[in-house]
Chains A and B, each alone.
Chain A
Amino acid sequence: EVQLVESGGGVVQPGGSLRLSCAASGFTFDDYAMHWVRQAPGKGLEWVSLISGDGGSTYYADSVKGRFTISRDNSKNSLYLQMNSLRTEDTALYYCAKGLLGFPGVPDYWGQGTLVTVSS
């Protein structure tokens, strides 16, 4: 059974940093691209970032480019999102999601999310 468990969320002041983690199990982690997708309170889904299975390719939404860094440690079956220069508009529930085999741009399994609140 695929399991994705996010952690690392919390309250941070504008301009601060936070590192999210996602522990994966139930599948061969390094075979799959991985996503971060966020959802502001009461709003829709916003794709944030993707990393290829080998970690060699990364992609970002314009809204986070230059501030967020996605990475993975395949030896630990873990995905990360380093978030710097946080803004109030980054407040959201952050989901880790696994890419569908053959369709890496499609998240098929999602974690339950970790809440990031950016507030002074």
Chain B
Amino acid sequence: DIQMTQSPSSVSASVGDRVTITCRASQGISSWLAWYQQKPGKAPKLLIYAASSLQSGVPSRFSGSGSGTDFTLTISSLQPEDFATYYCQQANSFPPAFGGGTKVEIK
């Protein structure tokens, strides 16, 4: 099975900051990677699929990049509503594993 490792596990940032989260797959997954945002008490929300495709309705300050084993999610200018936990997920093969999550906290 493919393992997904996210880093950091948490990050403290201020409104307006640029934030980058990294996800590494234990083997190559081409561009079969998705990113999700989850706020406390809420269901996850799909942000990006196919490594860099923005899901409909998601603000353009979110972007994704990478292929193979190394991927990044970037928030270009952090907004108050972006404080949440972010998960990556590989969709290359079953089981479609999630990363452990990155909590973005207010500095």
Contacts and interface: CB of A to CB of B under 8 A. Distances in A.
Contacts of B36: 45
Contact of B44 (A50, A61, A100, A110): A110
Given A62-B1, A112-B43, A105 B100 contact: no
A50 to B, nearest CB: 8
B101 interface: yes
Given A44-B98, A46-B98, A47-B96, A106 B49 contact: yes
Given A95-B43, A113-B43, A59 B98 contact: no
B98 A103 contact: no
Contacts of A95: 43-44
A59 B49 contact: no
A97 B50 CA distance: 18
Interface residues on A, range: 20 to 34
A14 interface: no
B100 A44 contact: yes
Interface string A93-106: 00100001001011
B57 to A, nearest CB: 11
Interface of A: 37, 44-47, 50, 59-62, 95, 100, 103, 105-113
Return the 8 tightest CB-CB contacts between A and B, nearest first: A105-B91, A110-B43, A45-B98, A105-B96, A108-B46, A44-B101, A59-B94, A106-B34
